[in-house]
Structure 1
Amino acid sequence: MKTDWWKDAVVYQIYPRSFQDSNGDGIGDLRGIISRLDYIKELGADVIWICPIYPSPNVDYGYDVTNHKAIMDSYGTMDDFHELLDQVHQRGLKLVMDFVLNHTSVEHPWFKEAELDKNSKYRSYYYWRPGTKNGPPTDWLSNYGCPVWQYEEHTGEYYLHMNAVKQADLNWENPEVRQAVYDMMKFWLDKGVDGLRIDQLHLISKKEYLPSYEDYINQQAEPKPFQPNGERIHDYLKEITDEVFSHYDVMSVGEVGSVTPEEGLKYTGTDKHELNMIFHFQHMELDQQPGKEHWDLKPLELSDLKSVLTKWQKKLEHQGWNTLFWCNHDQPRIVSRFGDDGEYRKASAKMLAAVIYFMKGTPYIYQGDPDSVLNYYKKLISLRKQYADLMKGSFDLLLPDDPQLFVYMRENSKQQLLSVNNFSKEQAVFQWPKNCGKAQASLLLSNYNNDDLDDEMVFRPYESRVYLLDKTN
């Protein structure tokens, strides 16, 4: 019988190359992960998500795969993987694999054959187009800032790559491609893996955006820029569910890029039978300069952050499920972005953790916080599990326009939880809500030492407090 075990889970993300080296070669590996399982268990995490460990030239940090059914030599062997999976399960933990299905490396056997022979069945596994008098089929640019079309001299045509030049996009319009991908997914799930995180899911539907350049010229229109989340994405997801996920009691999470909460509900709505949850990046793009890299940032407007997170909480409140995260392998560290990595590093790191850990959804930790913050994370995770029913309750944002304080209420039939967080390095004054019974309140968690509970309270820089209120008294 399938369960929603992932709703009560905390996920710990590991980037294997830098996590733990077991043999002194300077590269993290599977046996290194095995050696740290007790630490992850002690932290309170339930699920380990491992970034790609497949053979790869590492043009894109392992997301350019040459064999989806093998382990990269520098990480270990398949026997090492089997031992890792066994050790994870012995500790009552679960293991989720990162799975890349939008593209392969150009070193993949499929592509190696496709680039040499137009008549190969693998030719149609990828997107190929003849050039035009202007060069490439279209003038689109990839996320890397380079043209998405790469000329291939053997057959004199261009192949599509929405990412790096050496990551050729798979043609999901071809049913043989889809079945081959499903076979690779089942390979790992049949081993007992507890779920898959699907990389760049938002890019797999794209055929409608690939007419020839001449077609546009004849219409006297400019080439249409590439758009993710194409019209067939949900058809593909339903097929993935029917062919793969419906046969296993596993967690499914997809990376879908910049989508709205309304679009997110289409992916995770409980009546849609697609994904358990998605990674979106609306809240992580609020301090990014338009058209710039992740690390080229501008000051955050707190009201924007509150608005985005609240919309996702509310839209997915009754259907669907949220992911709760600040950091991952694609993002700069959050303390340097929304907190203070100087004088208030510890306080702001704890505050930021508290902000999302009491929201509704599944929290994701990206490997490591300083040791000084470790015990705070342990307590956060412990409280989240202790009040699991409350974590499934309603979410209401308070003080939406306050420039310093991020305040929200969680509530079920018996209890309320009030989370108050100062997002600035200046003091902030908080007025206790009039409709919130202060007499029934107790301090559940704080990143400073305090015990005051007044109608008006002064919050120190990056201070966070969480109060529990009993509605039965």
Structure 2
Amino acid sequence: MPQTPADPWWKSAVVYQIYPSSFQDADGDGLGDLPGVIDRLDYLHTLGVDVVWLSPVYPSPLADNGYDISDYLGIHPRFGTLADWDRLRDGLHERGMRLVMDLVVNHTSDEHPWFADSRASRDSPYRDFYFWRPGRGDGPPNNWGSVFSGPAWTRDDATGEYFLHLFTRNQPDLNWENPKVREQVHDIARWWLDRGADGFRMDVVNFVSKAPGLPDGPVPPGSGYGLFAEYSINGPRLHEFLGELRDAAFAGRDVLTVGEMPGVSVEQARAHTDPVDGEVSMVFQFEHVDLDHGPGGKFDRVPLDLRRLKGSLDRWQLGLADRGWNSLYLNNHDQPRAVSRFGDDGEHRTASAKTLATTLHMMKGTPYVYQGEELGMANAGFSDISEYRDVETHNHYLHAMAAGADEARVMAGIARMSRDNARTPMQWDASPNAGFTTGTPWIAVNPDHTEVNAEAALADPDSVFHHYRRLIALRKEHPVVVHGAYTPLLPEHPALYAYTRTLDGTVLTVLANWSADTVAVDAAPAVAGPRPELLLGTHPAAEEGVFAPLRPWESRVLLSR
């Protein structure tokens, strides 16, 4: 189907996220870098992805692995130089791929010159670039909590006031109520686009508008700190702020923009991604990856009920069917590995990795592949807190230990859900450091790299890698994958994930067994269309035909014209 103004290129694209510290080290210092990414561009081209999203590579003190930026217009020396970035841009463009940068503008580093000036004096011209408030009694201005545990305020001795940080104390929140802040953000975005970037993933961008007056949350003062989404995100000026950014930086440019928006609703996402007056191409929502969080939060994981996951993703598919656009993901730098979390990283690792991908990639929206996902990379398997590098993980451990929690239980939760599970080095081959570095890696390599690695996957035509490659190719070959209407099937089935996509008489049916048991196919034959053919499967074709019972973690994609 030819592209139209209503159907821009990114609707048929597949995005590959690179976490630069862990992708490829070219100089042997144990840290990934831009020359290393350049060395692996042919691998990405073989996979068939259209876009590379580069997690932050800006100058940073690295309090939160680069999401604390001290200079928005440079490259951290550990990653290379602006000349290296130019070579990466050119290498991608020469291969027909595009480059998306990470725009982190809810907060800066506390070492950014704006903040250094802001904290120097209450009369600083940059004072209002951030949220400074006097304390209340012996404590902070309100009872807001940080995403990374503890209060969201830190007292600064230089002026005796508190500054707001919804993440670490090294990440002070920018005050977007100040038009000069917004102008600076517009300038930054234009600078990178003028240099050849093809868009942005915008970190926690719905945090930039907060409730006027920064009121207390419903927890009574003095009883603790809480995360109050009704006050700290999706504020009353969000559409205004993002609309200004769109008009000032994105308008008239052929770019992809995705807003990371924790706590966003389907209705809000429809408005943000409306092709007529929305502000971004698509949003990252978190509803589906929060379903296994227990009463104690993300580190208190509970078993996932597939019916709840289907209900969530179906709501988003149907809710954005006629207005707006979905992003599709199970993995990223902030989530544990999907094959360990949702699949089976033991006996059925290969099949479950393929089935998770099949289920996701055949939906309507733009799929995102996180580095190593296409290999079936699993959780890190760390057992000691000293092996972790993530600030959120260490903060959780310290707060839990101080509260008297059982250490074995705390460590079990961390092993399942820590962000470092996604941040171990990319597994290129079976050598001691997985081909990632000739030095000592900044974080340990997963021991399973001797079996799970890119070299082995490329050589095996039945590997997870080649299954991803085929899924990506289907998106290019069959317009129904991009444009077809989505209809869920069997929403209450506890193990079978099934749906159809339909377009102009073509019916694509997805049947996916999310379990280690054999599962019968019930309702699919009635809706799959006449004489469906097996377009792609995780297992050899069944003798009984395309509607034979699904073997453990088997999935099939059927096509009827």
Question: Could you tell me how far 1:451 is from its partner in structure 2?
Answer: 3.5
Question: Could you tell me how far 1:453 is from its partner in structure 2?
Answer: 4.9
The equivalent of 2:46 in structure 1 is 42
The equivalent of 1:143 in structure 2 is 147
Change (3 A) 1:340 1:223: closer
Q: How does 1:366-377 map to 2 (within 5 A)?
A: 366-368=370-372, 369-370=374-375, 371=457, 372-377=463-468
Higher relative contact order by CA 8 Å / sep ≥ 6: 1 or 2?
A: 2
- The equivalent position to 1:181 in structure 2, one of 173, 177, 185, is 185
For 1:83 and 1:380, the matched residues in 2 are separated by 29
Q: Once the two structures are aligned, what percentage of the paired residues are identical? A: 45
Tell me, yes or no, if the aligned pair for 1:127 and 1:169 is still in contact at 8 Å. yes
The equivalent of 2:364 in structure 1 is 360
Tell me, yes or no, if the aligned pair for 1:432 and 1:454 is still in contact at 8 Å. no
For 2:523 and 2:124, the matched residues in 1 are separated by 70
- For residues 314-337 of structure 1, the C-alpha deviation after alignment (integer angstroms, 9 at most, x for no partner) is 111111110011100000011111
Change (3 A) 1:174 1:437: closer
The equivalent of 1:238 in structure 2 is 243
| Helix, strand or coil at the partner of 2:195 | coil
Question: Could you tell me how far 1:237 is from its partner in structure 2?
Answer: 1.0
Q: Which amino acid aligns with 2:47?
A: L
Stretch deviating more after TM superposition (363-372 or 341-350): 363-372
- The equivalent position to 2:10 in structure 1, one of 6, 10, 13, is 6
Unaligned runs of 5+ in 1: none
Stretch deviating more after TM superposition (163-172 or 126-135): 126-135
Matched, 1:417 2:422: no
For 1:392 and 1:227, the matched residues in 2 are separated by 36
- The equivalent position to 1:292 in structure 2, one of 293, 297, 319, is 297
Q: How does 1:44-443 map to 2 (within 5 A)?
A: 44-211=48-215, 225=228, 226-293=231-298, 295-368=299-372, 369-370=374-375, 371=457, 372-433=463-524, 435-436=526-527, 439-443=530-534
Tell me, yes or no, if the aligned pair for 1:209 and 1:224 is still in contact at 8 Å. no
Change (3 A) 1:99 1:455: closer
Matched, 1:468 2:559: yes
Tell me, yes or no, if the aligned pair for 1:432 and 1:455 is still in contact at 8 Å. no
- The equivalent position to 1:18 in structure 2, one of 6, 15, 22, is 22
| Helix, strand or coil at the partner of 2:464 | helix
Question: Could you tell me how far 1:389 is from its partner in structure 2?
Answer: 4.0
Superposition TM-score, scaled by structure 2 size: 0.80
For 1:314 and 1:207, the matched residues in 2 are separated by 30
Change (3 A) 1:389 1:402: closer
For 2:71 and 2:63, the matched residues in 1 are separated by 15
For 1:211 and 1:408, the matched residues in 2 are separated by 44
Question: Could you tell me how far 1:207 is from its partner in structure 2?
Answer: 4.3
| Helix, strand or coil at the partner of 2:100 | strand
Question: Could you tell me how far 1:434 is from its partner in structure 2?
Answer: 5.0
Tell me, yes or no, if the aligned pair for 1:48 and 1:94 is still in contact at 8 Å. yes
For 1:95 and 1:431, the matched residues in 2 are separated by 43
Q: Which amino acid aligns with 1:430?
A: V
| Helix, strand or coil at the partner of 1:172 | coil
Question: Could you tell me how far 1:385 is from its partner in structure 2?
Answer: 1.1
| Helix, strand or coil at the partner of 2:301 | coil
- Number of residues of Structure 1 aligned to a counterpart in Structure 2: 463
| Helix, strand or coil at the partner of 2:557 | strand
For 1:452 and 1:260, the matched residues in 2 are separated by 44
Question: Could you tell me how far 1:454 is from its partner in structure 2?
Answer: 4.9
Unaligned runs of 5+ in 2: 376-456, 458-462
Superposition TM-score, scaled by structure 1 size: 0.94
For 2:91 and 2:530, the matched residues in 1 are separated by 47
